[in-house]
Amino acid sequence: MPLISIVVPCYNEQESLPIFLKELDDVVRIMTQQDPGISFEAVLIDDGSADKTLAVMKAEAAAAHPYAIRWHSFSRNFGKEAALLAGLQHAKGDYVATMDADMQDPPSLLPQMYEILQTEDYDNVATRRTTREGEPPIRSFCARMFYKIINRISKADIVDGARDFRLMKRPMVNAIISMGEYNRFSKGIYGWVGFKTKWLPYVNVNRVAGETKWSFWSLLLYSIDGIVAFSTAPLSLAALTGIVFCLIAILGFIVILVKTLVWGDPVGGWPSLACLITLFGGMQLLCLGIIGEYLAKAYLETKRRPIYIIRESNEESDDTAQ
């Protein structure tokens, strides 16, 4: 009997989680009626929520559902990437789906995704949004630019509009779990491990309750993490910038020398000189910042700290740190 695990990372989702589980109940009943040989489990990860998300998880685990609910609560907020990894590590299914609890990942797509894996030669079915309705224009523009940039400078295949909502076979899940890096960027990891992917487009769905946890600034930092994790192109860009400005400086020195020999040594020109000093100083700090970002990531990796710590769980034997 194939088991399908539904991994749901949650951070302050006390309002949306019951709605999501109710919708998942209906989908599971439909799928088990069509194929009585499959079973389900839900793996809920509380990412150090500050509201009553954990209490909702406990109540739902004790309620009647057509699947088992296993929940794990972090000791603090470790971030969505850590919650996704924890869910994958604790999922027992032959097939594993990762979904958000805010209903932006429609559970109604699960039957079609499972059917594709059963009838076609794919290792996972991933979803992508065809529209970005409801998002601020500047946020949509920056997102599209990010996908274009990272696909040009890295080997990770990241599709524009890709969501974390996907259904994977166990071999792909095991490959993702084997990547024990501390600085994780799941969208890049999905593409890096390879395997055959079927993309399933759908129209963007807004949250059913609560507010998004991703501000523009947090998304910007997350995109920088993704670029640093899967590309060394910024380091090459810093080196190339240094070479270009050295050539400009040499050319400027020659121009000034010729000008002085032909027309004398004028006192004027200090405003342009001040601007050039500021420009060169800024470029040096930018290049140092790029190098520092990579050093910081390497520093965090060498510490070998656990990616997450579990405070409590409804599983009897559970590792507290991973």
- What's the CA gap between 143 and 160, in Å, rounded? 8
Whether 260 is covered by a domain: the verdict is: yes
Distances (CA, A) of 298 to 288, 304, 305: 15, 10, 12
Whether 208 is covered by a domain: the verdict is: yes
48 & 171 share domain: yes
163 & 102 share domain: yes
Looking at the predicted structure, is the pLDDT value of residue 23 above 80? Answer: yes
pLDDT band at 195 (very low <50, low <70, confident <90, very high): confident
pLDDT band at 217 (very low <50, low <70, confident <90, very high): low
Looking at the predicted structure, is the pLDDT value of residue 216 above 70? Answer: no
Whether 220 is covered by a domain: the verdict is: no
245 & 182 share domain: no
DSSP label at residue 38? -
Whether 320 is covered by a domain: the verdict is: no
201 & 240 share domain: no
pTM over 0.85: no
Check residue 96 and give its pLDDT.
Answer: 92
Whether 65 is covered by a domain: the verdict is: yes
- What's the CA gap between 181 and 184, in Å, rounded? 6
Q: Helices 80-90 and 170-178: crossing angle, nearest 10°?
A: 130
Check residue 304 and give its pLDDT.
Answer: 79
Q: How many domains does the chain have?
A: 2
150 & 63 share domain: yes
109 & 170 share domain: yes
Calculate what percentage of the chain has a pLDDT beyond 90. Answer: 2
Closest CA to 165 of 99, 108, 114: 99
61 & 167 share domain: yes
Check residue 182 and give its pLDDT.
Answer: 78
140 & 249 share domain: no
247 & 181 share domain: no
What's the pLDDT tens digit per position in 130-152?
766 656 666 666 667 766 676 67
Check residue 271 and give its pLDDT.
Answer: 58
Task: Evaluate whether 193 touches 176 at the Cβ level (below 8 Å).
Answer: yes
Closest CA to 96 of 209, 192, 211, 190: 190
- What's the CA gap between 128 and 95, in Å, rounded? 19
20 & 164 share domain: yes
Q: Scan for tokens 């224009």, then name that residue.
A: 137
What's the pLDDT tens digit per position in 291-304?
777 777 777 777 77
Check residue 147 and give its pLDDT.
Answer: 66
Q: Which residue has the higher pLDDT, 303 or 275?
A: 303
User: Which CATH number is 10's domain given?
Assistant: 3.90.550.10
Name the residue range of residue 88's domain.
Answer: 3-213+307-313
Whether 218 is covered by a domain: the verdict is: no
Query: Three-state SS for 24?
Result: helix
- Which helix (H) or strand (E) segment holds residue 231: the answer is none
Looking at the predicted structure, is the pLDDT value of residue 214 above 70? Answer: no
Whether 166 is covered by a domain: the verdict is: yes
Whether 26 is covered by a domain: the verdict is: yes
What's the pLDDT tens digit per position in 308-317?
888 888 876 6
Looking at the predicted structure, is the pLDDT value of residue 213 above 60? Answer: no
Candidate ranges 167-171, 186-190, 253-257, 288-292; pick with highest mean pLDDT: 167-171
Q: Which residue has the higher pLDDT, 3 or 242?
A: 3
Check residue 308 and give its pLDDT.
Answer: 86
171 & 247 share domain: no
Over range 192-215, report the average pLDDT.
71
163 & 254 share domain: no
Calculate what percentage of the chain has a pLDDT beyond 70. Answer: 72
Strands, DSSP E only, in the chain?
3-10, 39-46, 68-74, 95-98, 124-129, 162-169, 197-202, 310-313
Q: Which of 152-161, 235-244, 260-269 has the lowest mean pLDDT?
A: 260-269
